[in-house]
A and B are shown apart, each in its own frame.
Chain A
């Protein structure tokens, strides 16, 4: 190691800067920017064999179902957030959801009539939901005229540890 006079010694910061910028680049690329349709409150159920996501679906409606507790009755209930919608409302009553889905589909109908497209419903339900709640949402989708429903799961090995 070369000795330098105490006054002139300057550390070479360029390699450190390169390294830090590379790490910044890595974390920037891996960062998950806010995706409104993917509610992080939903803990998805785990499945062993599920299909990989189809990125070609252009008309999708996200329904996020989370488990909550009713403040009045202290009973377990569910909330649903529908995306993409003009305003994101927590809908507790299934009839409201059906109306909202019907309205949304009616809005899309003009644009998609020529192409014969029906929006795909992506159902992201919490793993602690009761089957009846999920079933009711699927029944509402059916009555609103939707045909394709996709149940979102987490594949084994990537399960949320919480």
Chain B
């Protein structure tokens, strides 16, 4: 039971020799790989749209937010051949005579929409954004974004009907 106990030697402690160099080499290789493949991705955001809840439909179905509600503000944007904004027309009523030409500057439209939204009863009303076929998608987003920033929460982006 009480056998011979091995006598502990108290001498110089053993220093383990851990080879760090290969680990460092490997770490540098990993670091190099991650640095080379590193790319800062842009932050994405969303613009939500709701399509009408119906099955099928004609081929020229218009995705708008609420089809049954009449539009109070209609913005028509034509496109140039290069995809830029040609001309902007703003209508606040059904009559064509109410059309207001705003040139080709989106900022002018934004200012006008802001004043419309601030006026009583216009805030939260539906805005129909009719845009030309060849309009660049970047401008489409700018126009939708401007309309939302101006105070119109319900924006319906649709195709501009071509004149016969």
Question: A residues touching B (Cβ–Cβ < 8 Å)?
Answer: 13-14, 16-17, 20-21, 23-24, 27-28, 30-32, 44-54, 122, 125-135, 138-139, 141-143, 145-155, 158-160
Contact = CB atoms under 8 A, between A and B. Distances in A.
B159 A51 contact: no
Nearest to A18: B27
Interface in B58-108: 59-63, 79, 83
Majority DSSP secondary structure for residues of A touching B:
mixed
A62 B75 CA distance: 29
B53 to A, nearest CB: 5
Instruction: Give the top 5 A-B pairs by smallest Cβ distance, nearest first.
Output: A27-B34, A50-B45, A132-B133, A45-B141, A127-B138
Nearest to A130: B134
A31 to B, nearest CB: 6
Contacts of B24: 13, 16-17, 20
A133 B55 CA distance: 21
B50 interface: yes
Given A44-B42, A53-B46, 19 more contacts: A24-B34, A27-B34, A31-B38, A32-B39, A45-B140, A50-B46, A52-B45, A54-B46, A127-B141, A129-B137, A131-B137, A132-B133, A139-B62, A143-B61, A147-B50, A149-B49, A151-B49, A153-B44, A153-B46
